[in-house]
Structure 1
Amino acid sequence: MADTQDAPDPGAALIARMAERVAAARKKRGLPRRVLSDLSGVSPRYLAQLESGEGNISILLLSRVAAALDLKVEALLADEIPMDHDAQRFATLYRNAPAEVQHKVSALLAPRDPGLMRAGRISLIGLRGAGKSTLGRLAGEALKIPFVELNEDIENAVDMPLAEVMAFYGEDGYRRLEAEALDRISTVHDRVILAVAGGIVAQKNTYDRLRERFHTVWIRTSPPEHMQRVRAQGDVRPMQGNPAAMAHLKELLTARSPLYDLAEAQVNTSNRTISSSLNDLLTTIARHNFLDPVT
């Protein structure tokens, strides 16, 4: 027969736990024992025994004590302390809140090391035509890490080209898909180079999340080179049919430059060959230790 001489007594553990919680709850509420006695109808002597772990209180009397302490009786008995009313209410509010609100609450309650959050992940930002896709792909090959286009990830997720995504989901729907893709990529990839659309910086919540989870590099060039490269790609959105396309491009660049300037680093591709710009990007990544683990 097994030796049970040293086995813990679950009854004693329950009484000790209950005693500790009654005493803690009473002191937290600033109630003298005699006041708790008046509220619960349990004698001060019995309460003293209960708090010392010597009382063998009935469940009926214990429920009175719990009610007087504004607790559910299980809060005095459970292995783990159940959430109080406020905690339950906040938990419900959190579950029902939009993802953006949940993200902000989590960041406030459980702040994480920003360097650790971003380590190994790099995002290239900037207007179309700066060279994000070309440099990102080449840098990924050189560093032997994945390269991902955010818009391509969105297209794959919904199984339709970007033009149809915009037509079907609209601007608001596209921005939602953009945020979801960003979460997906940052979850899947510990080391990655990501190229994002130029307008992501105008979406504050998404841009904040991007800068939290990725080291950001602004790939920039001059307005004439932006225009030349975009037209060479056969894509003149949003300047198609606009007789003042260059003025519009300059206005867009002026408006977004303060947001792009929030990036941790910049690479200027103006009047630079692809190989020179690639070398600049690789040098920037190495100099800032973007791929080094945080110790």
Structure 2
Amino acid sequence: MQYIADMQATNPKSDQESFAGSLEIARRIRSARARAGFTRKQLSAASGASERYLAHLEAGTGNPSVEMLLAIADALGMAMADLLPMGGERDQAVAQAAQLLRRLPPERVQGALKWLGEQPDGLDGKGRRIALIGLRGAGKSSLGKALADRMGAPFFEMSKEVERRYGGSIGVLLEINGPSALRRYEAEVLADICQHNPAAVVAAPGAIVADGKLYDQLLRTAWTVWLQAKPEDHMDRVVAQGDLRPMTGNRAAMNDLKTILAAREADYGRADARLDTSAQDFDQTLKQLESIAIDLMK
């Protein structure tokens, strides 16, 4: 069974409209893959779809089956409906409401009809927790440690906490258990940090915005600051840490980095505040970050 064929059978469209639908699915898959930071090869391994098939889908020339869309969505940690134009709905407002409902934590679903899309808990629950988000190389670790020292609070890197809990590297976790296991560990780690630390500084994984539920959980339980940097600074800082992988195919790596930044910009933009770490030296950046944290926690 194929999505395009099914849609044509139940709701006949012109060839032009069907082609537009294919292009929209292609755009959504490309965007979701970029937000997750997956290469096409990685998505192929996680979903079971061939790289060639994915290339056709992302070009709008493939014929997406329901089975394959489900596998791709699962690999990317999202609902299949989020890969379809308007979530598969015929009304834009209904599509937006359905998307909000899918992102609600289970304990709040029962009251969804009363306050759908609202934040009934207001600012409660964030305490004195500061979460730093952004791509690798933005300064989350170095600035996070320094800010935690100034606050007299513990510092946590979610990725390292996941590895400690799992007992192995994230690379091994992904290879053996897949992306869904990583998302589960990340959610457990974040919940534990918030439960036991009314004050803390947390460095979140760069791809946390690709998991809608986990990102919403972070936004509800911590004051978030998006650390921004120039693409060149992201690359230079990662290399300075001893990771030479970004330099493989230098031009292609930089293009991929810019694509990921563009794809995640709107999601990163949901943070409570943002700070450009390329605009001044480390000490000045730390001073500004501390000022932002103080203002947020007032």
Identity %: 35
Relative to 1, partners in 2 of residues 1:141 and 1:249: Cα closer, same or farther, differing over 3 Å?
same
- After TM superposition, give the deviation of residue 152 of structure 1 in Å: 1.1
Residue aligning to 2:24: none
Q: Deviations over 1:183-206 (max 9, x none)?
A: 111111111110011100111111
Aligned to 1:262: 270
User: Residue 107 of structure 2: which of 84, 100, 103 is its match?
Assistant: 103
Q: In the alignment, which of 158, 173, 180 is matched to residue 150 of structure 1? A: 158
Distance 1:156 1:99 in 2: 28
Change (3 A) 1:118 1:153: same
Unaligned residue ranges in structure 2 (runs of 5+): 1-101
Match of 1:141 in 2: 149
1:165 aligned to 2:173?
yes
Q: Report the alpha carbon displacement of residue 163 of structure 1 after superposing the two structures with TM.
A: 2.3
SS of the residue 1:103 aligns to: helix
Instruction: Could you tell me which runs of 5 or more consecutive residues in structure 1 were left unpaired when the two chains were aligned.
Output: 1-97
Larger radius of gyration: 1
Give 1:196-275 correspondences, 5 Å limit: 196-235=204-243, 240-241=248-249, 243-275=251-283
Map 1:283-294 to 2 at 5 A. Answer: 283-288=291-296, 290=297, 292=298
Structure 1 distance, partners of 2:152, 2:110, is 33
User: How much does 1:120 deviate?
Assistant: 1.0
Q: Aligned AA for 2:294? A: A
Identify if the C-alpha distance between structure 1 residues 237 and 171 changes in structure 2 by more than 3 Å, giving closer, same or farther. farther
Q: Which amino acid is the alignment partner of residue 268 of structure 1?
A: D
Q: What is the CA RMSD across the aligned residues, in angstroms?
A: 2.4
Give the 4+ runs in structure 1 shifted more than 4 A.
98-101, 106-112, 236-243
How many residue pairs align between the two structures? 193
CA distance in 2, matches of 1:99, 1:216: 18
TM-score, length-scaled by structure 2: 0.60
CA deviation profile, 1:163-191 (whole Å, cap 9, x unmatched): 22222222221112111211111111111
- CA drift of 1:241 comes to 4.7
Deviation at 1:269, TM superposition (A): 0.6
